Amino acid sequence: MRISWQSAVSVRSRGLVVTSSEVCVRCGSGLSPGAPFCAVCGGAVSNRAVAPSTLAKAATSPLQVAPVSPGSRILPASRGLRVVSTVIDCGAVALGPFAFTMLGLALSNGAVALGVGSISAVCTWIWLVVWNGVRGLSFGKAALGLRLADSATTRPAGIAAAAARSLVFLAIPWLCALSTAFDSSGLRRGWHDRVARTAVIDVVKGLNPMGPQVVTTAFRKPDRGTLAVASPVPVGPTATAPTAPPPPPPPPPFDTVAMSS
């Protein structure tokens, strides 16, 4: 095999053939590319240059592009967003009874108004259960970019799971809310999520397994970040661009007093 490097030295010692353009400063033997010690005398090699083949390989290797944004995976919703979403949903359910109660007090027929308001609250709750189970949505989740999903498949949980989850939350709301801080799985699931085998995911910062990948709401915008691109390894000294000469100084301003005289 022809060696392309100049001043190549071949040394046979201890049954080993070493071919290199560099020699040991102690014994004059050829050095293997990248070897920290001389194969003949065992002396340490210091301040050696990188072999040209290493530079060429590094220069011709493809650039690696690594995504910085977490939008490449499914992310659980934060506890703060879940609390705000729950408040919005509870407000939507309580809006009907409140409105009809106020109307009944104004018309001096509070009992009928309270009954109609209670029926409207039940109808709103049923609608939320169906919406959560089929689409993973509710009023709060739609406003904040959250979805209710099956914790195993990340698909819609289903009406039965959504109903079980809602009933457990209505029974022990505070315990369900506090239990999200003690979920060892990292999904921030409460007891109601564990019973229904569900999880609340953030589809603004993470992937949306149920629809469009880019989700934008009135309150939150996706922040996908930028791409970090590695620069190539320079083979030789970088040529600097010639600097342009400085522009000539501007002409002096007109002396209007001298010109008028």
The pLDDT value recorded for residue 258 is 42
DSSP code per residue over 101-139:
HHHHHHTT-HHHHHHHHHHHHHHHHHHHHHHHHHHS--H
Spatial contact of 195 and 61, defined as CB atoms under 8 Å apart: no
Q: What is the pLDDT of residue 55?
A: 41
Contacts of residue 7, Cβ cutoff 8 Å, sequence gap at least 6: 21
Question: Which tens digits make up the pLDDT trace of 68-89?
Answer: 344 568 899 999 999 999 999 9
Residue 245: φ, ψ to 5°: -65, 150
* Strand ranges (E), the chain: 9-13, 16-20, 65-67, 75-76, 146-150, 198-202, 227-229
Q: What is the mean pLDDT of residues 5-23?
A: 47
Q: Summarize the confidence of residues 16-29 as an average pLDDT.
A: 64
User: What pLDDT shows up at residue 7?
Assistant: 38
Q: Picking from 38-47, 128-137, 174-183, which range would have the lowest pLDDT averaged per residue?
A: 38-47
In percent, how much of the chain has pLDDT > 90?
36
Q: Please give the pLDDT value at position 18.
A: 46
